[in-house]
Amino acid sequence: MSTTDTGERRRSSDARPVITDLIDEATVQSIGEEAWVALVGEEEPLVPLLGKLPDDVLSSWVDVVGPWIGSVVLTTGRQTAAELTRALLGDSAPELLDHEDVADAFGEIANVVGGNVKAALPGPSALGLPEVGDAPVVRNPADVCRVEVLWRGQALAISVQGALPPLPVPSHPHHEKEVSL
Amino acid sequence: MRALVIDDSRAMRRIVTRAVEKLGFEVRDAGHGREGLDVLDEGWIPDLVCVDWNMPVMDGLQFVSAVRANPTWRNVTIMMVTSESEHTQIVRALAAGAHEYVIKPFTADALRDKLALLGLLPQEVSL
């Protein structure tokens, strides 16, 4: 028996969800706020206001690999990342922070936020180890859920962004009607 | 009582150590599961291990399995302290032999409640 493929079935099964189909900004913000209260303290929460990131920024992120593939990225000014490190370490903070201290603490915040974002996404998914540096490139602007907040008056962004480029759009979709199985 | 805190993040080791010390535990720490096993091999046997999941060298699940495979350490209570919060992951950790599971971020109260459930609070403590 042969059937005619109208293209509908293939298009729907091939479609990859973008992150905004899976999680919304309010959820990402709530996850960030909860992480801040637990790790940094309730005296200095995230404030849901827009700010301007400085030129000299640092990002930390973890990769999520599962039905959705991408990264959960925190970005803020280097100075703010250092202040976050001191807030996280409290009395244990060394007098002089080195890059490893900042990478470790800022990376751990990304790990905690990323783990909770992953839990809100369809699974099963694997969580990578935290990385710190220049944020991964956004490959599909439609596959990004980003919230911007302030901490101690400084801008900080939490971005849940896909790692894959957009799927190509078929140029002649009506040709699919001629495909037989 | 003794606690061993295992996490590859120094910041998180400090946070967990501080919380557990406030509850009255004597604490040592390790940067991954293999280092944690080295502490046990030395003969420093803790009442409680707080172990992260995702770590280089030896992850938390491998550590739990290694501890459970050694009858000498059968009385050690293991609590996973991790950002892995999927139900399937929790089930895997408990099946491997962890007693409890705390999801990061956690509050000091949540940690105290878990330890109370495990009967591991050395004394009446307040944070």
Q: What is the CATH number of the domain that holds A27?
A: 3.40.1550.10
Q: What is the pLDDT of residues A102-113, one digit of tens each?
A: 999 999 999 999
Nearest to B35 by CA among B74, B73, B62, B68: B62
- In angstroms, rounded to a whole number, what is the distance separating the alpha carbons of residues B79 and A102? 27
* Residue A5 maps to a domain: no
- In angstroms, rounded to a whole number, what is the distance separating the alpha carbons of residues A146 and A159? 4
**Which chain B residue shows the shortest CA-CA distance from A112?**
B83
* Residue A153 maps to a domain: yes
Mean pLDDT of the B103-117 span: 87
* Residue A3 maps to a domain: no
* Residue A31 maps to a domain: yes
* Residue A36 maps to a domain: yes
Contact between chains at B88 and A101 (C-beta distance less than 8 A): no
Is the pLDDT at B110 greater than 50, yes or no? yes
Residues of B in contact with A105 (CB under 8 A): 9-11
- In angstroms, rounded to a whole number, what is the distance separating the alpha carbons of residues A116 and A31? 7
Question: Domain range spanning residue A77?
Answer: 17-162
Which residues make Cβ contacts (< 8 Å) with residue B54, sequence separation at least 6? A111, A127, A128, A129, B8, B60, B82, B83, B84
Q: What is the ipTM of this complex?
A: 0.78
Residues of B in contact with A130 (CB under 8 A): 9
* Residue A110 maps to a domain: yes
Residues of A in contact with B107 (CB under 8 A): 38
Query: Which pair of structure tokens corresponds to residue B52?
Result: 């992260």
- Amino acid B37: pLDDT: 98
- In angstroms, rounded to a whole number, what is the distance separating the alpha carbons of residues A79 and A153? 12
Q: How many domains does chain A divide into?
A: 1
* Residue A169 maps to a domain: no
Judge whether A42 is closer than 8 Å to chain B, CB to CB: no
**Which chain A residue shows the shortest CA-CA distance from B88?**
A124
* Residue A11 maps to a domain: no
Q: What is the pLDDT of residues A84-95, one digit of tens each?
A: 999 988 877 888
Judge whether A60 is closer than 8 Å to chain B, CB to CB: no
Contact between chains at B9 and A104 (C-beta distance less than 8 A): yes
Q: Kind and range of the H or E element at B7?
A: none
